[in-house]
Amino acid sequence: MASLTDSLPGTSPVRRAAYAVGLVALFGVVFDFTWSQAIVVTVIVLVGESVELARPLPGLDERDVRLALGLVAMPAGGLAYWVQGDTTVAAVGVGGGGWLALDALYSLREGIRSNDDGMVEADSSEVFLSMQVGHLVAEELKDGPKTAPELADACDMTESRVREALEYHERADTAYRDGNQWHLDESKIGAWAFVRDNTRRALARFFRPFRLFVLS
């Protein structure tokens, strides 16, 4: 971590140490945290900031940073329990840190990176436009099957935009193609479907690190 800290732009060990002391005082005095809570929160803030600052650094693997964060959070939680018997901070530090460390180790073993879900960084206006087109396409398909050109005319969008939206719906299993016609699966649309699918994804993501203990 020393080489990482030294390489971060605009940082120095003395400045970081002074910043850490200031954060501990802020959380302990102003927000009335216990000292163990203030120390743990300060560690999380400092490491989190380091992760954000380190993103543009070439050759830095974000999985190694997650592993380091987990290895720092676990003893910090244990220290909180040993010093003041603070079970809440201890549980967050040990539990959260342990999950981060396991997740990083599993990602390293399987060669998984944070951007392997197919999502790429995009401008916020581009993301909003894609969501809008996807919604328009779904609304049109509720009236019945249509081809991509028909959807483009109905949505007043380019056919390439409509095809991107259709590909997204196909990946999400909310639409399927039968010949040239696209059909909407309305059982996958709506509030309940949104909650169900996202809960399933969240649970799968939470339990993913524990596959380390599954024999291959």
DSSP 10: T
Residues paired with residue 176 on neighbouring β-strands, in sequence order: 183
User: What confidence tens digit (pLDDT) does each residue in 29-47 have?
Assistant: 777 777 666 776 776 666 6
Residue 10 lies in a domain: yes
Tell me how long the chain is. Answer: 216
Boundary residue ending a domain (110, 143, 160) = 110
Alpha carbon distance 102, 106 (integer Å): 6
Tell me what the pLDDT averaged over the chain comes to.
75
| Kind plus residue range of the DSSP H or E element containing 140 | helix 124-141
pTM of the model: 0.51
Place of tokens 């969240």: 202
Least confident of 59-68, 111-120, 140-149, 202-211: 111-120
Residue 116 lies in a domain: no
Domain range for 34: 2-110
Alpha carbon distance 207, 197 (integer Å): 16
What residue type is 94 in one-letter code? V
Q: How many domains does the chain have?
A: 2
What residue type is 13 in one-letter code? P
Please indicate whether residue 135 or residue 181 has the higher confidence score (pLDDT).
181
Kindly report the CATH number assigned to the domain that includes residue 190. Answer: 1.10.10.10
**Residue of 178, 170, 88 whose CA lies nearest to 137:** 170
Contact 142, 184 (CB under 8 A): yes
Three-state SS letters, 56-67: CCCCCCHHHHHH
Same-domain pairing of 126 and 207: yes
Residue 176 lies in a domain: yes
Boundary residue ending a domain (85, 110, 135) = 110
Residue 117 lies in a domain: no
User: What confidence tens digit (pLDDT) does each residue in 73-89 have?
Assistant: 888 788 877 877 778 77
Residue 115 lies in a domain: no
pLDDT at residue 80 in the model = 74
